[in-house]
Structure 1
Amino acid sequence: MTVAETRTGTGSDMATPTGTGTDVRRGTDTDTGRDPAVPSDTSRATGAGPRPRARRDGPPTGVFLAVIALCTAVTAANIYLAAPLLNLIARDLGVAPSAAGWIASVAQLGYAAGLLLFAPLGDTANRRRLVGALSAAAGVALVVAGLAPGLPALGAAVFAASAATVVPQLLVPLVAERAPAARRGRHLGVVVAGLFAGVVAARVLGGLAGQAYGWRAVFLGAAGLTALIGLATAALLPAETRPRAKTHPSAILKGVARVPRMLATSSELRSACLRQAGLYGAWSALWTALALLLTGPGYGMSTGTAGLFGLFGLTASAVAPLSGGLVDRFGVTRVVGAAYVLAAASVPLFWLGGSWIWALCAAAVLLHAGLTAGQVANQTRALTSTASPATANTAYIVSAFIGGATASALAGPAFERWGWGGVCAVAVCWLALGWLGAARRRPGRATRTR
């Protein structure tokens, strides 16, 4: 077990798909999950030291969490909106289905860009205004996407909409600040459930709505829903009294510049980034091309029926809360290894799924379980790898999405040239690169990056 693994604190607090922006210091007590040098009152039990907390003057806790979860689901869905609609988009714009596959990777790259540019502002900017502005911007970009006359315009609009869809990264820290220490994991779990619900909704409901009303109606509907829910959430956010520094473009650029330096100096962080990029890349390649397989001559499904395969994403909702306990009990390394075993076992089943539907179903369950377990374990490692967890979390999520976007971009051409077997080969390559690329991680003490 590595040093970082013995300092994970409470698995439920750390095992979330987004960073809380909390400074996880060294010397954390492995039993209580707090810094022994910090008083143990609930206002300081995060291990982050004295820090002003958001004033609890907002709506009741239940209403607050429900609104945050709904907003997270709606905004997260925008990243995956195009994936089940690729066949419809290609047919409407007069291009080959494989030629439209890069739209899915553009969405992931846009989200990565938004993380770098907007997520750091959550520590300094007014979150009410920022959430409202980003929600409105995403809504406008989705309208442009729904009216796009061709693939280039559609790709640019999807990129912009996905870049503005970083609202969950701004809301999760607020949930962590307001939650009592003893219930922080449960509160964050509600938001995580909203995140996965959004992914499933984009796949399932997006495919069904696209089949019934066309892909343009799906984007236009998502635009209205994003703007409505986003602005309503911004209005309900509690007033914040914490001191805020002025935000300058130079400060944002300095924060972005710290990411490569941190990756270069922290072997633990590099390991987490590479391992999750491999898992997420394999998932992205298979899931992007799956709609092409199911709606192709082999299965001949409608877009709506093919979209029902998104229901297998509910596997992630079941695995996520279990993975935190496994990390706490067995350590990050073992859980990541198990995640790769599950993902690797799914690839032969996906290959068989080119002809057998039962194999596709089994493979989808294994792959989602592996992806989610890896997400929880690798993010725990990333957040405990340095003295700057917020920057480490940015590096981690951006790396994962770049890995996923690159694999998605290759999946379309691979499917066109070599069929479903070519897509499975892309997934194998990404799993191999993710595992072997992090295999030479230096043992011993993790580097503290300042």
Structure 2
Amino acid sequence: MEVTLGLRMLFATVCAVAVATIYAAQPVLAQVGGDLGVPEAELGWVVTAGQLGYLAGLVLLVPVGDMVDRRKLIAAHLALAAGAVALAATATHVWLLLAALAAAGVFAVVVQTTVAYAAALSTAEARGRTLGVVTSGLVIGILGARVVAGVLAAVWGWRSVYVALAALLIVLACLVPRLLPPDPRPRQATYRQVLASLGRLFGDGLFVSRGLIAFFLFASFGTLWSGLALPLAAAPWHLSTAQIGLFGIAGLAGALGAARTGHWADAGYARAVTAAALALLIASWPAIGQASWSLVLVAVGVVVLDFAVQAVHVNNQHLLTTAHPHRTSSVIGGYMIFYSLGSALGATATTAVFARAGWTGSSILGAVFAGCALVVWAFSHRDAAD
């Protein structure tokens, strides 16, 4: 069927709000730490809890999209995510906040069900454009959450961020059954068969290589966005949470600029675009590393980094859904396991490295992750050419 612009925008909105439940904590880590008494070196776990929950959801819940009506599944997961973030908003102990954010992460995998549904509904000729728009929603949620969360936290405190997210999730849970088309597929696979199918993907060369690229790609991404608030809140800048959140606008500019790469993927240039984008990712880190004296260079580096990340991410998903058109939920869910592990690694590593080596150490770490992604691309490209 033809996926209209209106449907693409609805899919993108679902992705944006759902993924924000994981990343909204990043610009308010200092507030959370001060309120709940979390040491600086351990703040990364506030973000990592959501990532680990997301990982569990990818394995256990996303494959269900290949066996049930995805419209109903999306609505149910949105409602359950709303309950989890509402619990986070009321948490008075660190363990309760971590548990709530982990639960929110589990149901935030509605993002992958949504992406897979959008890809399955699209024609082969338009799949790249659809994925470009829908995954732009994902990046808008990741980066826009920083802007909105920073402003809300500055005015009403960090808890208001999760109250707002709960309200948006409930609204979307009500809209999805009314506006999305019913799932047209026959549903014959059992849960065991779907999980077995997911396991077999790890023997597929394209899947593993693109997954490893995603692992290092999002480790680099997580290194930036889980750690950037720390140098910006410290001397010489002492920026507020609202001011730190504004750096998400720079990231949005880069990520939305990469939506065009979906057209390039449709034209057959996915592999070449991946290489160029990974080179840009590496090049962004020397600028980002100058946070101690130049906010302008940091902003430029953020634009370049987020353009590169989005470009690679769209092309990865285009290649995988094209190669596995009849099990898009499983292949997207499996691919995002690598994403989740990489993001969790970046979130925990950057705060630990910052506590010992400052932002220079975190920037070197991010560049190393980006370099590893390019090495994986080079070896997989060579194997494909042999």
Q: Which residue of 2 aligns with 1:171?
A: 114
- Contact in 1 for aligned 2:131/2:262 (Cα 8 Å): no
Q: Is the 8 A contact 1:91 1:97 kept in 2?
A: no
Question: Corresponding residue for 2:209?
Answer: 271
Considering only CA atoms, is the larger Rg found in Structure 1 or Structure 2?
1
Partner of 1:22: none
How many Å apart are 1:416 and its aligned residue? 1.1
Q: Which residue of 2 aligns with 1:306?
A: 244
Question: Displacement of 1:140 after TM fit?
Answer: 1.1
**8 Å contact kept, 1:203–1:307:** yes
Counterpart CA distance in 2 for 1:446 and 1:245 is 37
Cα-Cα RMSD: 2.9
Aligned residues: 385
> 1:318 and 1:224, CA in 2 relative to 1: closer, same or farther beyond 3 A?
closer
Aligned runs of 1:298-337 on 2, under 5 Å? 298-327=236-265, 331-337=269-275
- Counterpart CA distance in 2 for 1:442 and 1:346 is 23
Mapped to 2, the partners of 1:169 and 1:330 lie a distance apart of 24
* 1:107 and 1:162 in contact (8 A); partners too: yes
More helix by proportion, 1 or 2? 2
What is the CA distance between 1:290 and its match in structure 2? 0.5
1:286 aligns with 2:224: yes
Letter in 2 for 1:417: R
* 1:441 partnered with 2:384: no
Report the Cα offset of residue 389 of structure 1. Answer: 5.8
Q: Counterpart of 2:50?
A: 107
Deviates more, 1:167-176 or 1:142-151: 167-176
Q: Which residue of 2 aligns with 1:341?
A: 279
- The aligned residue for residue 413 of structure 1 is 352
Matches within 5 A, 1:244-263: 244-245=187-188, 247-248=190-191, 250-258=192-200, 262-263=201-202
Q: How far, CA to CA, are the matches of 2:83 and 2:114 in structure 1?
A: 21
Matches of 1:66 and 1:331 in 2, distance apart?
Answer: 25
**Counterpart selection for 1:156 from 91, 94, 99:** 99
Any conservation in 2 of the 1:74–1:225 contact (CA below 8 Å)?
Answer: yes
CA contact (8 A) 1:266 1:385 kept: no
Q: What secondary structure sits across from 2:289 in the alignment?
A: helix
Deviation at 1:198, TM superposition (A): 2.0
Match of 1:419, SS?
helix
| Amino acid in the other structure paired with 1:130 | L
Show the counterpart of 2:299: 361
Q: Which residue in the other structure is 1:227 paired with?
A: 170
Calculate percent identity across the aligned residue pairs: 31
Distance change in 2, residues 1:341/1:188 (3 Å):
closer
How far 1:411 sits from its partner (Å)?
0.8
Structure 1 segment 16-415 matched on structure 2, within 5 A: 64-176=7-119, 178=121, 186-245=129-188, 247-248=190-191, 250-258=192-200, 262-263=201-202, 265-327=203-265, 331-383=269-321, 390=328, 391-415=330-354
Structure 1 residue 328: deviation in Å? Answer: 5.6
Distance 1:246 1:323 in 2: 34
The CA deviation at 1:293 is 1.3
Q: How far did residue 171 of structure 1 move?
A: 3.0
Change (3 A) 1:112 1:316: farther
CA deviations 1:126-170 (Å, max 9, x no partner) are 334322221121111111111222222212211110110122333
| Rounded Cα–Cα distance in structure 1 between residues aligned with 2:124 and 2:199 | 33
- Rounded to whole Å, the distance in 1 between the matches of 2:299 and 2:286 is 12
175-184 or 68-77, which deviates more: 175-184
1:243–1:385 distance in 2 versus 1, CA, 3 Å:
closer
1:356–1:241 Cα change, 3 Å: closer
Identify which range, 431-440 or 122-131, moves more after superposition: 431-440
Decide whether aligned partners of structure 1 residues 186 and 426 sit closer, same or farther in structure 2, where only a CA change above 3 A counts.
closer
Aligned-partner SS, 1:243: coil
- Asked whether the 8 Å contact 1:269–1:385 carries over to 2, the reply is no
**What does residue 371 of structure 2 align with?**
432
- Unpaired segments ≥5 residues, structure 2: none
Unaligned 5+ segments in structure 1 are: 1-42, 44-55
CA distance in 2: counterparts of 1:385 and 1:179, whole angstroms: 14
Cα pair 2:119 2:131 within 8 Å, conserved = yes
Is contact 1:102–1:412 with CA below 8 Å preserved after alignment?
no
138-147 or 272-281, larger mean C-alpha shift: 272-281
Query: Which moves more between the two structures, 134-143 or 431-440?
Result: 431-440
Classify 1:215/1:402 alpha carbon distance in 2 versus 1 (closer, same or farther; 3 Å).
same
Query: Are the equivalent residues in 1 in contact too, given 2:26–2:229 (CA < 8 A)?
Result: yes
Determine the structure 2 residue equivalent to 1:51: none
Per the alignment, residue 30 of structure 1 pairs with none
List per-residue Cα deviations over 1:194-250 (Å, max 9, x = no partner). Answer: 3333223211011100111111121122112212222321343334454222644x3
Per the TM alignment, residue 316 of structure 1 is displaced from its structure 2 partner at its CA by 3.9
